[in-house]
Amino acid sequence: MTPAPILTISGLSVSFATPHGIVRAVDGLDLAIGAGEVLGLVGESGSGKSVTLRAVLRLLRRNAAITGRIDWRGQELLTAPERRLRDVRGGEIAMIFQEPMTALNPVLSIGLQIEETLAAHTDLGAAGRRRRAIELLSRVGIASAAARLDDYPHQFSGGMRQRVMIAIALAGAPKLLLADEPTTALDVTIQDQILKLLRELAGDLGMAMVLVTHDLGIVAETCDRVAVMYAGRICEAGPVASVFAAPRHAYTLALLRSVPSGGPARQPLDPIPGQPPRADRPIVGCPFAPRCGFATGACRTTRPPLEAVTPDRVAACFEAARLPAWREAA
């Protein structure tokens, strides 16, 4: 990993007490994010991507049990006092959600929703906050920003609402932006604009970003590094081009084979057979083993550790050496 990590998650486990028993959403997850880096966190629905992000800011509900360590620039977040956590939330680590219609408060003007973040994290007075709110809205591409401060979320289109949410997230000048599927609810053309905007903002502001998505195309276009999640664990992580060219985990390979790859040399699609393991019982061995064509005896009995496979890549697969190259490195 080239840049020094600002956020290091180690051994993170999150389980929920439900009426049907304990459900384990994240199961011993290790992940590091470097300063200024854009990391794509990919995986199927239910693999624990969103829960991981929410655990970082401790936004999970009372029925969630969290263990492990979340080191934010030398400070443990899981045990940080509420006061300190408030400074981190929005001020150092910001988060945007999938559906801006439900994440923005419908009865408060967007001006107020930006200004309250500024009030929490800056010393600006009322007039200064208003000026800054206008700057932020213009920065994310909202035309005649000053006139729109008093508008409410329902008066904006879906793409514009997502821009408003990004402006709110930027208000506290965070060093890390957690983006939870920020374009899933949008039209394809709008998706592209929002991703470009996020990428550009991360570059201009020197802000690191974790982009949660299940779309490998988005990862290829937007991210520096990728981390692949399966059943609450990281399968492998590394630079996007090198991971996509030569996966070191059987699940990553299966995932790449299951989606259209684009470009002239199209490969036939190959859906992954079977279902992800149930989250309400303990997993023995590699969680992907039952669906994996490369699995051996060890895969079914021993959990493969997440280990360095090259200087800048990690993977948790016993059969990494047997995996074929997926396509020529870009």
Partner 1 sequence: MNRASYTAARLLQIVPTFILIGIVVFVLVRILPGGPVAALLGDKASDEAIERITRQLGLDAPILVQFWRFLETIARGDLGDSIAYHVAVVRLIAERLPVTLLLTGMATIFAIALAVPLAFVAAVTQNRWPDLAIRGAFQVGLSSPIFYVGLILLTVFAGAMHIFPVGGYGETPGEHLYHLFLPALALALSFSAVIMRSLRASVIEVLSAEFVDFARAKGLRRRIVLGRHVLRNALISTVALIGLQIGDLLGGAVITESVFAVPGVGRLMVDSIFARDYPVIQGLTLALAVLVSLVFLATDLVQMALDPRVAK
Q: Which is nearer to partner 1, 99 or 192 (CB)?
A: 99
C-beta closer to partner 1: residue 165 or 194: 165
Q: State in angstroms the smallest separation of the CB of 277 from partner 1.
A: 27
CB nearer to partner 1: give 71 or 151: 151
Q: Would you give the binding string for partner 1 spanning residues 130-159, x where CB under 8 A is met?
A: ----------------------x-x-----
Contact pick of 145, 165, 226, 306 for partner 1 (by CB under 8 A): 165
Six token digits for residue 16: 């929920």
What are the two backbone dihedrals, phi and then psi, of residue 166, each rounded to the nearest 5 degrees?
Answer: -65, -40
DSSP per-residue codes, 142-194: -TTHHHHTT--GGGS-HHHHHHHHHHHHHTT--SEEEEESTTTTS-HHHHHHH
Site string for partner 1, 29-58 (x = CB under 8 A): -------------------------x--x-
Our CB check for partner 1 shows the closer of 153 and 247 to be 153
Residue with tokens 């684009």: 262
> With respect to partner 1, which residue has the nearer C-beta, 114 or 292?
114
The SS3 of residue 13 is: strand
Of 227, 103, 255, nearest to 164 by C-alpha is: 103
In the complex, what is the shortest distance from the CB of residue 124 to partner 1, in angstroms, rounded to a whole number? 15
- Are 223 and 40 in contact, with CB atoms under 8 Å apart? yes
Residue 89 sits in the site that holds partner 1 (CB under 8 A):
yes
| Contacts (CB under 8 A) with partner 1, residues 90-109 | 90-91, 94-95, 97, 99, 102-109
> Which tokens belong to 299?
């895969």
**DSSP of 217-255, one letter per residue?**
HHHHHH-SEEEEEETTEEEEEEEHHHHHHS-SSHHHHHH
Residue 116 within binding range of partner 1, rule CB under 8 A: yes
| Cα distance between residue 162 and residue 117, in whole Å | 16
Stretch that binds partner 1, among 1-9, 17-25, 27-35, 116-124 (CB under 8 A): 116-124
- How many separate helices (H) and strands (E) can be counted in the chain? 12, 12
Binding mask 199-238 for partner 1 (x = CB under 8 A): ----------------------------------------
Binding site for partner 1 (CB under 8 A): 54, 57, 59, 86-91, 94-95, 97, 99, 102-109, 116-117, 120-121, 152, 154, 165, 168, 171-172
